[in-house]
């Protein structure tokens, strides 16, 4: 396959880089962390969207080395910010289903923390509910071992897959990220607001931190504030940006 060959080549070279999207604590309005997001500049083709290449990388298994590169690079960047005296909060990195089931994941994460000097408590790994619910027992075992390293576990795209908060209670999960489809629907009417409120209340009852994803409007932000959501991410505050722009945002003391 055409894209696959190019992905293999990209992995060998310097075609991948990371952008970072800030996460904001609603109570203070301050940046409390960053999500690392892969970007691919394919020579000749320009930027290829992750929506296009992540599925190909996932199917071929290439996501394992690509994802490992992304984790190492994000940790390296985060530690470098801290060494410059910046306080970036926490770092979130996505883990695809295939990565979760790859041999030696826990050992590899531990090695990257050691190698980069990344404090485990400042790293958060994002996994989707679907990834966890397939093969629940082995996923639970892996997440427990990651959690034992001191790393946080966040459930990404929450509400879109097959899961229940009852199941989540049996996993070492620290955070729920409400999928942006629910956030987008917030202005549609009281039922949609009720869904988001319910997710937030149940998450709070279980002692989890809740993040709203894809926040694009002031009206959505007001509704989330009213529902006592903890954190938000979205274009309203900032798109995913280059490391240089991250430093500017941190200096601006947002």
Please give the residue ranges that form the binding site for Na ion (CB under 5 A).
156-157, 213
Binding status of residue 156 toward ligand G by CB under 6 A: yes
Query: Where do the DSSP E strands lie in the chain?
Result: 16-25, 31-42, 46-48, 90-94, 123-128, 152-158, 175-178, 209-212, 231-232
Number of neighbours of residue 183 by Cβ within 10 angstroms: 25
Binding status of residue 157 toward ligand G by CB under 6 A: yes
Shortest Å, Cβ 63 to ligand G:
6
Interface with Mn ion in residues 144-163 (CB under 5 A): 156
Shortest Å, Cβ 68 to ligand G:
10
Q: In this structure, what DSSP letter does residue 161 have?
A: S
Binding status of residue 126 toward Mn ion by CB under 5 A: yes
Size of the site for ligand G (CB under 6 A): 26
Beta strands 123-128 and 46-48 are unpaired
Interface with ligand G in residues 125-154 (CB under 6 A): none
Binding status of residue 238 toward ligand G by CB under 6 A: no
Report the sign of the C-alpha dihedral through residues 47, 75, 121, 104, in that order: positive
The only residue of 25, 216, 241, 243 in contact with ligand G, by rule CB under 6 A: 216
The only residue of 164, 169, 194, 235 in contact with ligand G, by rule CB under 6 A: 235
Q: Which tokens belong to 157?
A: 């795209």
Q: Which is nearer to ligand G, 79 or 127 (CB)?
A: 127
Q: Provide φ and ψ at 50, rounded to 5°.
A: -55, -35
């Amino acid at each position: 396959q055409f894209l696959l060959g190019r992905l293999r080549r990209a992995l060998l070279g310097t075609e991948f880089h990371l952008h970072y999207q800030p996460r904001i604590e609603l109570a203070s309005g301050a940046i409390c962390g960053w999500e690392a997001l892969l970007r691919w500049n394919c020579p000749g083709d320009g930027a290829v969207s992750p929506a296009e290449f992540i599925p190909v990388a996932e199917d071929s298994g290439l996501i394992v080395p690509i994802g490992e590169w992304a984790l190492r690079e994000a940790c390296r960047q985060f530690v470098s910010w801290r060494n410059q005296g910046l306080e970036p909060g926490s770092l979130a990195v996505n883990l695809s289903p295939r990565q979760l089931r790859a041999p030696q994941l826990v050992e590899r994460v531990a090695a990257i923390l050691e190698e980069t000097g990344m404090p485990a408590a400042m790293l958060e790994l994002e996994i989707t509910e679907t990834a966890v619910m397939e093969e629940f027992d082995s996923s639970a075992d892996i997440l427990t071992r990651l959690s034992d390293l001191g790393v946080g576990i966040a459930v990404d795209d929450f509400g879109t897959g097959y899961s229940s908060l009852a199941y989540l209670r049996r996993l070492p999960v620290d955070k729920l990220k409400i999928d942006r489809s629910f956030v987008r629907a917030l202005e549609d009417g009281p039922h949609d607001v009720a869904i988001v409120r319910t997710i937030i209340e149940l998450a709070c009852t279980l002692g989890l931190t809740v993040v709203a994803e894809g926040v694009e409007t002031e009206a959505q932000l007001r509704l989330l504030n009213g529902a006592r959501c903890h954190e938000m991410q979205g274009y309203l505050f900032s798109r995913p940006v280059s490391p240089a722009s991250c430093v500017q945002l941190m200096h601006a003391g947002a």
